[in-house]
Structures are given as C-alpha cells and as structure tokens.
C-alpha cells in the first residue's frame, strides 16, 4: 500500500485504530464491557428508555454511541 492509501484507510477506520492503539498501550481489550454504577436524572433515564424502545438498541449501546460521537467531535476540534 502507498502511504496515501494507508493514511486514508486509517482515517476511515479511526475508531478501530484508536481501539487497537489502546490495546497495544494497556494490553486490555477496549471492546470489553465493564459494569459500572452511576446516577442519572429520572428524565434522562426515561428519555434513554424511550430511545432504546424506538431504535431497538440497548441503553448501553446508545450511551456508547453518544460517548464515541462526543469524543470524535472533541478530536476534530483539536485539529
């Protein structure tokens, strides 16, 4: 592969590149799910449940997607 193709491929798969970099750094798989307990407002939980029912996705998957989107946006702002 040419360097240009490598950069394009890495950019298109940035999430997975970051996951593999994290795995290389820590030796722990970043795709492994960890159970945590935290507090949310009742309104937030109700909206999360409603979104979960509408989309058919788990609440955990919805939160993961929101965090990933937020982190990607922060990375774009840094550049």
Residues 57-72 have pLDDT tens digits of: 999 999 999 998 888 7
Whether domain 34-79 has CATH 2.60.40: the reply is: no
Report how far Cα 29 is from the mean position of its chain's Cα atoms: 14
C-alpha–C-alpha distance, residues 64 and 70, integer Å: 10
Helices in 1-79 by DSSP H: which ranges? 3-12, 14-26, 42-55, 59-78
CB atoms within 10 A of CB 36: 5
Question: What share of the chain has pLDDT > 70, as a percent?
Answer: 97
Model confidence band, residue 41 (pLDDT cutoffs 50, 70, 90):
very high
Task: Give the list of residues 6+ apart from residue 28 with CB closer than 8 angstroms, or none.
Answer: 22
The segment(s) of the chain belonging to CATH 1.10.1220 are 34-79
């Amino acid at each position: 592969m040419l360097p240009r193709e490598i950069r394009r491929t890495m950019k298109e798969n940035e999430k997975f590149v970051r996951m593999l970099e994290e795995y290389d750094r820590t030796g722990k798989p970043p795709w492994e799910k960890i159970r945590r307990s935290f507090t949310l407002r009742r309104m937030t939980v109700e909206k999360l449940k409603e979104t979960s029912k509408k989309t058919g996705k788990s609440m955990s998957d919805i939160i993961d997607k929101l965090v990933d989107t937020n982190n990607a946006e922060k990375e774009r702002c840094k550049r």
